[in-house]
Amino acid sequence: MKKTKIGVISDLHLFNKTANVEKALSKLHEVELLLIVGDIADRADEKQYDIFLNLFDERFHDMPVYCVSGNHDNPAREDTSYRQFERKINSEYPYIGDECGAFYKYVNEHIDVIGLNPLYHQKQFFFPNKGMQIDFLQKRLAASLCKYHIVMCHPPLIAHNPQRTADMTSYIVAEQDTRLQSILDKSKNVIFLSGHTHVSPSIEFDETRGNLYINDGSICPTTVKGAETDTQQGNVTLLEISKAEISVIVKGIHSEKIFIEEHITTDWSVENE
């Protein structure tokens, strides 16, 4: 298995200034695939999505990109701008979409991607239609022959939220958060990508299951965890996935500063050969 290089960005909050997005994209020239974990536009406006499409097309015309929505993309009211953007940016790279709102993408024989798009109402995320997207995830994980499963979801799960406290309410409604976590706990080699927090990026590795939880921070300046009065430059995350290792490098968009560098050895059991 050759290494697969993947770029991850989140929380672009494009309004009318593009400097942070341009800096972030400039750090991704060596990746083969780009994943965007929500909040592309700040106000779910078609013009804001078009700005990103133009910036992306100038630099990576032939690179596949997949995205999920954030609360700024997918407000409580019915809004089609994000869905139009999703169809435009993914038009040349077919994936299995589902009427429930989730999607599945087979990247190669070792890696697949599952995208979840919860809705947002009264400051909490939820999966509509009795959580059909969670059912979709469970079925896809069960049927997949790939070793690694990248799951994209804008809000982090409470158990891996870098802001979590003992009495904190989960970003996703509690019953669905618990259900989603249970499915992941029964799976192996899941890479769960989230955003939303605007806290400095974090990585948590479940050694028992080989599951990796990455909260990507933001390309906008983020609050330093544990020092709420301090901020640091926005960031991009670079993943390199090989047969027996996942490398995670999180670097600043305005410098070469590396915030996180982890090289995680993974098991490759006989049934995966």
* Tens digits of residue pLDDT in 111-146: 999 999 999 988 899 999 999 999 999 999 999 999
Higher pLDDT, 170 or 79: 170
Share of the chain above pLDDT 70, in %: 92
Beta strands in 51-123 (DSSP E): 65-68, 96-97, 103-108, 111-115, 119-121
In the chain, what is the straight-line distance between the N-terminal and C-terminal CA atoms, in Å?
11
d(CA 42, CA 183): 31
Is the confidence at residue 260, as pLDDT, over 90?
yes
Rounded (10°) angle between helices 174-185 and 128-143 = 0
Sorted by sequence, the CB contacts under 8 Å of residue 114 that are 6+ apart come out as 102, 103, 104, 105, 136, 137, 140, 141, 149, 150, 151, 152
Residue 50 has a pLDDT of: 95
Least confident of 78-92, 183-197, 203-217: 78-92
Measure CA 187 to chain center: 18
CA quadruple 253, 56, 93, 3: dihedral positive or negative?
negative
Residue 263 has a pLDDT of: 97
Residue 113 has a pLDDT of: 97
